[in-house]
Amino acid sequence: MEFLIVTGLSGAGKTRAMRALEDIDFYCVDNIPPLLISTFYNLCQKAIDGHMNKVAVVTDIRGGNVFDSLFEALEVLQRERKKYEILFLDARDDVLIRRFKESRRKHPLAEIYLGSVTMAIKLERDILMSVRERADYIIDTSFLSVAQLKERISGIFLGDSNFALMVNCLSFGFKYGMPTEADLVFDVRCLPNPYYVDELKNFTGFDDNVREYVLKWEQTKGFINKVISLIDYTLPLYKDEGKSQLVIATGCTGGKHRSVVLTQLLYEHLLNSHKRVSVHHRDISKD
């Protein structure tokens, strides 16, 4: 049985994540108290109709002090040798604040700080830090649309189970902030920039003329060789260490040209190497 525990910051998209999981045939239960997780796991195992072979439960700060028992629940699962994975939904503070304002929802911890969402988010982040560190998958939803979040979740949980390590290749622009979920970050701002070529600046890394410009330089070729050599060497080490997901982020200034070209190149290399891999260009559509 595939058993997934979904948690993360309030407003980071857990509800949308659950809907995406339901669309790929997970049986989902929202806001379950942590102490009931092991009991619910047992009930799912006893199901004989095959409907419970993929299960996802959400547990989060809405349970108040009850959430403190999550680690106790995880220890019970480990002691009973019950396999599980943790999906953690994250987002930038400013994005979370905007979402709460737009939805007019109240943060579960806001009353502690007389309604201050900013302070509530800080407290929640501190409380969840240990859970985040134990997560198998981390998705930062700050710049993801509903469709993009669904695509990310499908890419992770619809892959061949024979491939234990899921590699997510991500391009981004430094001007829009670092991706918090990244495990490895490569800065390609040192490479020649097609933005300063008038006939190229309005294109993206998906266009042949931009791709040819970025790849024609000796420094780019050297950079690519060294990065691919490093990735090929380290992926088996991450897999042997038991890591389930590796996010490789490549950034340039705006996230439209150099980072897109190199991220696509890395994605194609890993795909041809028969790795379980997905690709996402976070900032390619931004101005």
Task: Note whether 176 and 284 are within 8 A (CB).
Answer: no
Segment 113-124, tens digit of pLDDT = 777 889 999 999
Q: Is the pLDDT assigned to residue 235 strictly greater than 50?
A: yes
* Confidence category of residue 161, pLDDT binned at 50, 70, 90: very low
Contact 283, 172 (CB under 8 A): yes
pTM over 0.75: no
The confidence band for 50, taking pLDDT boundaries of 50, 70 and 90, is low
pLDDT at 257 over 80: yes
162 confidence band (pLDDT: 50, 70, 90): very low
Q: What is the dihedral of CA 220, 226, 228, 232, to 10 degrees?
A: 180
Residue 17 has pLDDT above 80, yes or no: yes
Reading the block at residue 237, the tokens are 């080490």
Question: Domains of the chain (ranges plus CATH)?
Answer: 2-157 (3.40.50.300), 166-281 (no CATH)
Give residue for tokens 């595939």.
Answer: 2
Question: What value does the mean pLDDT take over residues 192-217?
Answer: 95
pLDDT at 209: 96
Q: How confident is the model at residue 103 (pLDDT cuts 50, 70, 90)?
A: confident
